[in-house]
Amino acid sequence: MEQEVLVQVEGLSKKFCKSLKKSLWYGVQDLVGSVMGKQPTATLRKDEFWALRDINFELRRGECLGLIGHNGAGKSTLLKILNGLINPDHGKVTLRGRVGALIDLGAGFNPILSGRENIYNNGAVLGFTKAEIDSKVEEIIDFAELREFIDMPVQNYSSGMKVRLGFAVAAQMEPDILIIDEVLAVGDIGFVLKCYALIDKLLPNTALIFVSHSMSMVSRICSNICLVNQGKTEFYGKNVAKGIDLYYSKFINSNSFEVFSSNEIELKGVRLLNSENGIVAWGGDIVIELNLIISNSEISPSITITVFDKEQRPVASLKKFTVDRQIKDLTQGFLLSITHKNNQLSKGIYTLSLTVNDGVTKSPLYRINNILSFQVTHEIDVYQPFYLDAHYELK
């Protein structure tokens, strides 16, 4: 006998406006229209865009849906709609049972109240009585490992403490539907492993929506997968491996280059060596091979490779070096092999950008964003930006 459907999403669409003034004006128009019984328009007005477009899926008790996609694909918007924080413009969401969610750091907490008081507030929002919360509060405190600080205002908690308390409340209350965003990446590795052990315990009686950039964890706990791209469903089904392969082929090994200059320089190819499907182990070597063509032999190129994290913040930079202008085969192309040994990047997804400046005038000649993406597995306790110490070969 099939388990009951706890989450059903039908034709879900949501649009936003890039301009604040226009957004406020459109909001007034929509409010007046709804009072008059008019349906929201399905067309985009000036400066509007679809954050979600015609999303459909269902989730049964005992199933885990892995929601994946690059940053800005629409995952967070979908979670906020599911959690009731924003309303869709079109479509319908049906949730059956209690919903626990951990979708933003500190979300749902009153910062001036203590951790204990926030446990009771969150429990009440989930529909539990005081007596039911009383029976759970000690388990929550123990799981969050915050007994010494439980009566301290949440505004004084670190990000890791907020995550521990948020997950403990969301999971220990044993909701019918549990929504977990990437915020677990903030916690230390010991607590994260404890969270996944609890998820395994909860899954038979819970419908779980799990958002993560860690494909190893998605493949481990998810029974269904939904790949979102530019607000639309790129893939949905029970073949988790196929969804992950599609994600890697579109985003991890993407060749969607963004060029801002020159006809004299061309990147013919880029490869990530010493990796498996774009995955690099923490502590392992990162080996990048670039194939560049520079048609103007008078150019003395200074090449920089910058590493960006998933929030598109630069976290590392290859030390600049200048290619000798006397190299004879520069116009025929050359291979640039860059090796960073024993990488210390924290777990997550990273992208590389290539910049070529004139080595004499320092003026920019060429830039490509997102020439390559890769994922670093494993967690470290302390994250620090670093500089790549590379060697290179010209061929």
pLDDT at 253 over 50: no
Let me know if residue 88 belongs to a domain. Answer: yes
State whether 93 and 196 are in the same domain. yes
pTM for the structure as a whole: 0.60
Quote the pLDDT of residue 106.
59
State whether 348 and 207 are in the same domain. no
Quote the pLDDT of residue 109.
82
Identify the band that residue 105 occupies on the pLDDT scale cut at 50, 70 and 90: low
Q: Which domain holds residue 351?
A: 258-388
**In this structure, what CATH number is given to the domain that contains residue 57?**
3.40.50.300
**Of 252, 269, 287, which residue sits at a domain end?**
252
Residue 261 DSSP symbol: S
Mean pLDDT along residues 121-139: 85
State whether 70 and 213 are in the same domain. yes
Instruction: Select the more confidently predicted residue: 228 or 249.
Output: 228
Q: Which helix H or strand E contains 366, and what residues bound it?
A: strand 364-377
Inter-residue contact 97 to 177 (CB < 8 Å): yes
Mean pLDDT along residues 260-284: 73
Instruction: Select the more confidently predicted residue: 77 or 214.
Output: 77
The string of pLDDT tens digits covering residues 351-390 is: 888 888 776 666 677 777 778 778 887 643 333 333 333 3
The string of pLDDT tens digits covering residues 32-62 is: 877 777 776 677 888 888 889 999 999 999 9
Percent composition of the chain: helix, strand, coil (DSSP 3-state, to 5) = 30, 35, 35
Mean pLDDT along residues 305-320: 69
Identify the band that residue 164 occupies on the pLDDT scale cut at 50, 70 and 90: confident
The string of pLDDT tens digits covering residues 337-349 is: 777 777 777 777 7
**Which range is most confident: 7-16, 44-53, 244-253?**
7-16
Quote the pLDDT of residue 307.
81
Let me know if residue 395 belongs to a domain. Answer: no
State whether 238 and 340 are in the same domain. no
**Which range is most confident: 21-25, 117-121, 168-172, 242-246?**
117-121
d(CA 99, CA 10) in angstroms, rounded, equals 18
Q: What are phi and psi of 110, to 5 degrees?
A: -90, 115
Let me know if residue 394 belongs to a domain. Answer: no
* Cα atoms in the Cβ-side hemisphere of radius 13 Å centred on 116: 8
Instruction: Select the more confidently predicted residue: 137 or 263.
Output: 137
Three-class SS string for 36-79? CCCCCCCCCCCCEEEEEEEEEEEEECCCEEEEECCCCCCHHHHH
User: Closest Cα to residue 302, out of 257, 354, 341?
Assistant: 354
User: Closest Cα to residue 389, out of 317, 292, 337?
Assistant: 317
The string of pLDDT tens digits covering residues 357-366 is: 776 666 677 7
Quote the pLDDT of residue 104.
65
- Residues contacting 322, CB < 8 A, separation 6+: 300, 301, 302, 359
d(CA 70, CA 229) in angstroms, rounded, equals 7
Instruction: Select the more confidently predicted residue: 253 or 14.
Output: 14
**Of 219, 252, 285, which residue sits at a domain end?**
252
**Of 204, 235, 252, which residue sits at a domain end?**
252
User: For residue 347, what are the CA distances in angstroms to 77, 176, 318?
Assistant: 24, 30, 20
Quote the pLDDT of residue 58.
92
State whether 193 and 233 are in the same domain. yes
Give the strand pairing for 334-340 and 364-377.
unpaired
Q: What angle do CA 126, 221, 87 make, to 5 degrees?
A: 40
Q: Please give the mean pLDDT across all residues of the chain.
A: 77
Q: What angle do CA 380, 385, 386 make, to 5 degrees?
A: 100
**Which range is most confident: 61-65, 158-162, 215-219, 265-269?**
61-65
- Residues contacting 126, CB < 8 A, separation 6+: 98, 99, 100, 173, 175
User: For residue 219, what are the CA distances in angstroms to 20, 204, 253?
Assistant: 40, 17, 19
Inter-residue contact 106 to 166 (CB < 8 Å): yes
The structural domain count of the chain equals: 2
Q: What angle do CA 99, 101, 104 make, to 5 degrees?
A: 155
Let me know if residue 393 belongs to a domain. Answer: no
Let me know if residue 218 belongs to a domain. Answer: yes
Q: Which helix H or strand E contains 118, and what residues bound it?
A: helix 115-125
Let me know if residue 322 belongs to a domain. Answer: yes
Mean pLDDT along residues 134-147: 88
State whether 248 and 376 are in the same domain. no
**Which range is most confident: 226-235, 303-312, 315-324, 374-383?**
226-235
State whether 346 and 236 are in the same domain. no
- Residues contacting 63, CB < 8 A, separation 6+: 3, 207, 208, 223, 224
